[in-house]
Structure 1
Amino acid sequence: MSDKRLLLASARADLLDGNGAPECPGVPDHVAASWRRSLSHGVHPNSVDSPYFAELDFESRLVRCAQPEIDQLSEQISDMPMCVALTDGQARILLRRDSSQWIGKILDRVYFAKGFGYEEGAVGTNGVGTVLEFGQSVHIVGAEHFVDTLQSFACAGAPVRDPFSGRIEGVLDISCLSDHSTPIMHSLVRAAAKRIEHRLLLDRNEAQQALFEVYSRVDSRTRDAVVAVGPRCIVANTAMQTLLGSTDQEALLDHIRFMTPRHSTVDDKVDLPSGMQVRLRGSTVTVGEDIAGMIGVVTPIHDDVRLIPRRQCATAATSDLVAAEPPHQVASSSPAWRAAETIVRSALGADETVLVLGESGSGRFTLLAELVRLQRPGVRLHRIEARQVEKEPCEIGCLLAEADPQVDLYVLGDVDQLCGRTVNALTACLGERGSAPGLLGATANASERPDIDQGALFALFRQSATLPPLRYRTGDLMALVRFILHELAPHRELQVSHDATRVLGRYRWPGNIRELREVLASTVARRPVGVIQAEDLPAYCQSVSRSPLRQVDQIERDAIITAIRQASGNRKAAAAALGFSRSTLYRKIQLYGITD
């Protein structure tokens, strides 16, 4: 043991001096890799700097499921001066159970206590943070720790994984002084972690349980690809992983999420980004009035069906289009978008009126305008806003009835906002004239439920299509970003950094493509050339709040994000700059969903 300590100490000294060989001979591979990560994160080799988190959930589902196993494990080690600890998936300690009072006091001195964080990037190699980085159980003894003050300890840690997703939900750890270390610690902690995972499986909520049970039944009866998609979990069999690549899987999952709240069953032919076409047969799983998710069976289609040619688009010719919504001229990889596009294209080809549903800013009018330009060159397309129809319903009816469809076509915007009186007046006027040759279609918000019966108005349309919001088009996001940047700053070759891409991808885009354009316009004003960084994006893009914020809350949120950016991510410095305590800053970060 003394020879091993000497070897480890020598290798660590060489590494800190910059003289160490890349392979660190004699040092376990996972320990050497951890040392290098610790060094790159700037961990101080002589002291522990463990952050404290005031707003942790100490009564979480993980803690509840782990409690019986920790009680049993504590009894097994009660004759030795050891402790058992449980952390969350970010290495923050949720629970600690000591077998003796004095071991607890020693651990308190190195901040291995409830509420403190032990991620590798803060305190170096250890039995918690290194488990999260390594992805497997570890046993770190004595000089294998990166920080001097931890080298008197030994710790064995094992990951506790979510039984559905396989994601690490927490770490179970046994710690003691290095003189009391034994390989049995590693065996005990791994076995206990597995038992906690089993308890998590049994403790899943009613909706998850219903979804998983239906998935298991379907999977046992077929050799096809099967996937279960819920609000917080995705489960897929091996056939699914083998059938589709990552890009196709992402597009299909977005399609299933989009269809789940809208249809109880689906039987669709889905065109995927790779050019592959699959058949999706799915049905929702409900628990009471709540939708747990959708189970889908996916099979490839091997016929000669070809995808709609992806168009090479230019700027729309009409000023109405530019004024109404930002142009959407990127070939979409979203199956839901392409299905809607097919319906609209078919309606235009058959001279049928079409109702395009979707959230505001999702590109409803833009799609109509672009297809009109492609299929009916020379025809001018105009959008009539709901407020204009409210003022002059009869005049609008006359305009639609007398228009020459070879010259002018009209789209009624946001008809779900029309009141009952306006709807009656408009449809009565059109009914008296017998037809409305100038009416191409209308847009409506699919997420809204009108308070009035609009059946008489909807009867004017022969087909309908629903566009997915931007949050269900993750595969299209960066293509849209590149296109809009090219439009906003032609010939500048603006690029987007990895961190900025990550921020854009995590934001939910409640305003859809219109909001994306506004964000990029303000960003280009800050960074007119070069590479766009995360700090160039508006502050609210780094916030995913669970509820609408008041204006005063938005101002405070933006101030917090700005302070964190100016402090280069140092939250202690940011709290000082804002005049907050650290606990207040952490609480507000959680409240506003700040992801910086």
Structure 2
Amino acid sequence: MIERSWRRSFTTGGGYDPTATPAYHPFSEPAGRFQDTAEIVLARWAESLADMRVALLVSDRSGRILARKVGDPSHARRLDKVSAAEGFEFSESALGTNGLGTAIEERSAVFVRGAEHVNDRLQTLACAGAPIHDPLSRRVIGSLALASPVGASHPAMLAIAKQAARDLQDALLNTAPLELQALLARFADGTARHRVLAIGRGGVLASTGALPMLSAERHVTLWDELQAHHWQGDVASVLLADRPSTARRIVNRAGESIYLVELAESEPAAAPEPTRLSRLAAHLDVLGRSSGCIAIHGPRDSGKTLLAQLWLRERDRHDPVVIGAPAFREPGAVATAVQALSTGTSVVVCSVESLTDVDFPVLQQLAGAADPVRSARVVFCVADDLTGVVVDFLGRQGPRLDLPALRDDPDRVIGLAVRLAQEYSVTLSPAVLQALSRWDWRGGASELRVLIAAMVVQRPGGTVLDVDLLPAEMRTRARQLRGIAASEYRAIDAALREADGNRSRAAEILGIGRTTLYRKLRAYGFDGQNTLIS
């Protein structure tokens, strides 16, 4: 384990400096549940270890130290000299092999003694560390370590670190409401035989039978439906994905709602619900069977190129070649595209609307090189304002898919955002997904891509991007609606007023299903106070 860690330390990111000092990351917000619970658990263990020259430390997933307990003043000064204190980052990528960072990377307990530390400044210490797992998701969310001078270390430190980490995990579970703890016990002992969901602001817990109902899009919809329900008590009959269900509302100590939803046993098993992106990909698959060329039409910056890339990457298991149409006026561009097609690599041509009738031979050459048998397709991404010979040729050459503007397709916004976040190995919180689905995206897919990249840069650590990283106006400002969307908004608003806020009655007035109405309520931001964003 130590050898693996050393190898990672010196081969990742172009090498490692053994004299590096840890970076300091200030706490930009009040302590959360993890940090508060860590302080309590460390205080208990510090009393038990008062006779040992040992410090207890807890870090988050990024390796940043959240809490430290040390009784011996001289040992505290020793730790201060190497910056082993709250706010400093002890990830393996930052400091090489060490008890906190390596336990996270290995997902296992580790004992690092003296010169086994890569960093020169840490070689006077012995550090036993163990990973901390989220009691619900089982993801590694941090680590706990015992640190002592090398000469005062003891083999029992590793066992103590592992037990203290388990105590912290148990304490995190005990901070959940009693009702939720009871539900978790049902999951753990296998008695949750029905399809059960526990839905909260931060995510969803599901029994095996309910898993097919879950997706990033569906979680946001479920939350909105439950928040919008007219609760007369803590138990209600609701429709979950158009299925009769029993829901129970739990309000935790912070005043936030958690919903437990159980489907009736007589209901047939839920089929997996396809996401908006998977439906579009399936449609493109059908279109691609009949032709080597496909045209994706839609408003400017509606995500046509991004959709084509995602579809081809998943279908072909490698990236397509993406070329802007104006580049075909430069020498060699057409040959590059034709060469890619000849090797079985698909080509995405964006900004086709910039071409004129003079460029018509280029399109003919590309279409002729497409080979659907070799999975080499040409996808033309076309803005709606294209006219003339080019658009006539595309209409004859192959089928087309029409996309609405991104602001009118909130489920596609969620799907694209999730996929973009995956490129950075991060996850978007449900609150972020809801805020993104309600934004009007005047800058289209480019605005979405830039936003995700900016959030990744701004994150304080960890792999979950939460709503505090969004611009303030995106968290609070209602969407500005135009055209058909504005008319539909006014019709829904009028129906809700006529029905005195009763969603079921409003759906009847509008002549649409309740699920459709809930989806539109989410898209237009009705009842902004009942959102995932707190």
Q: Say which SS state the counterpart of residue 259 (structure 2) adopts.
A: strand
2: distance between equivalents of 1:66 and 1:478?
31
2:206 pairs with 223, 229, 236, which one?
236
- What is the CA distance between 1:298 and its match in structure 2? 8.3
- Paired position in structure 2 for 1:62: 34
Cα deviations by residue, 1:500-532 (Å, 9 ceiling, x for unpaired): 997999964746498457233569xxxxxxxxx
- Matched residue, 2:99: 127
Does the 8 Å CA contact 1:56/1:94 hold for their aligned counterparts? no
List per-residue Cα deviations over 1:120-155 (Å, max 9, x = no partner).
111111111112212222211223222233223210
Aligned ranges 1:290-305 → 2 under 5 Å: 291-297=257-263, 301=268
CA contact (8 A) 1:211 1:293 kept: no
In structure 2, what is the Cα distance between the partners aligned to 1:539 and 1:34? 30
Q: Which residue of 2 aligns with 1:256?
A: 222
Between the aligned partners of 2:199 and 2:270, the Cα distance in structure 1 is 28
Query: What is the Cα deviation at residue 253 of structure 1?
Result: 3.8
Pairwise mapping of residues 354-369 of structure 1 onto structure 2 (< 5 A)? none
Structure 2 letter corresponding to 1:281: S
Unaligned runs of 5+ in 1: 1-29, 271-278, 332-444, 446-466, 482-495, 524-533, 552-596
**What is aligned with 1:266?**
238
Q: Name the CA shift for 1:238/1:187 in 2 (closer, same or farther; >3 Å).
A: farther
Structure of higher RCO (CA pairs closer than 8 Å, 6+ residues apart) = 2
The amino acid of 2:226's aligned partner reads T
Structure 1 counterpart of 2:472, from 527, 549, 553: 549
3-state SS in 2 of match to 1:163: coil
Q: Choose the corresponding residue for 1:112, options 61, 79, 84.
A: 84
Aligned partner of 2:136 among 159, 164, 167: 164
1:113, distance to aligned residue in structure 2 (A): 1.8
Q: Please tell me whether the aligned partners of residues 222 and 240 of structure 2 are also in contact (alpha carbons under 8 angstroms).
A: no
Contact 2:197/2:261 (8 A) holds in 1: yes
- Counterpart of 1:86 in structure 2 is 58
Shift of 1:302: 7.0
Query: For residues 173 and 95 of structure 1, what CA distance do their matches in structure 2 show?
Result: 11
Share of identical aligned residues, percent? 23
Amino acid at match of 1:519: G
Between 1:31-40 and 1:294-303, the stretch displaced more is 294-303
Cα deviation for residue 177 of structure 1 reads: 2.0
SS of 2:168's equivalent? helix
- Pick aligned residue for 2:423 from 478, 498, 502: 498
CA RMSD of aligned residues (A): 5.0
Match of 1:281 in 2: 245
Per-residue deviation at 1:255? 4.6
What is the match of residue 177 of structure 1?
149
Aligned partners of 1:306, 1:295: CA distance in 2, in Å? 17
For 1:392-471, what aligned pairs fall within 5 Å after superposition?
469-470=410-411
Q: Deviations over 1:292-335 (max 9, x none)?
A: 23424487847999999975689899xxx969x999xx99xxxx
Q: Take 2:80 and 2:270, find their aligned partners in 1: how far apart are those partners?
A: 67
**Which digits, 9 at most, give the CA deviation of each residue in 1:44-79, with x for residues without a partner?**
343132011222668543344334442343344333
Query: Are residues 216 and 258 of structure 1, via their aligned partners in 2, closer, same or farther at CA, if it must alter by over 3 Å?
Result: farther
Q: Distance in 1 between matches of 2:157 and 2:105?
A: 20
- Contact 2:220–2:433 (Cα < 8 Å) also in 1: no
Deviation for aligned residue 1:214:
5.1
Q: Which residue of structure 2 lines up, in the alignment, with residue 193 of structure 1?
A: 165
TM-score (norm 2): 0.51
Q: Which moved more, 1:210-219 or 1:179-188?
A: 210-219
2:529 maps to which residue? none
Q: Select 2:46's aligned residue among 71, 74, 81.
A: 74
Partner of 2:99, secondary structure, is coil
Q: Distance in 2 between matches of 1:498 and 1:505?
A: 18
Distance 2:248 2:148 in 1: 50
CA distance in 2, matches of 1:68, 1:497: 35
What's the secondary structure of 1:223's corresponding residue? coil
- Larger Rg over CA atoms: 1
Gap runs ≥5 in structure 2: 230-235, 288-293, 309-406, 459-466, 475-534
Size of the aligned set, in residue pairs, is: 343
**Which has the higher mean CA deviation after the structures are superposed, 226-235 or 292-301?**
292-301
Classify 1:145/1:197 alpha carbon distance in 2 versus 1 (closer, same or farther; 3 Å).
same
* Kept after mapping to 1: 8 A contact 2:25/2:87: yes
Q: For 2:422 and 2:120, how far apart are their aligned partners in 1?
A: 37
Report the Cα offset of residue 225 of structure 1.
Answer: 3.6
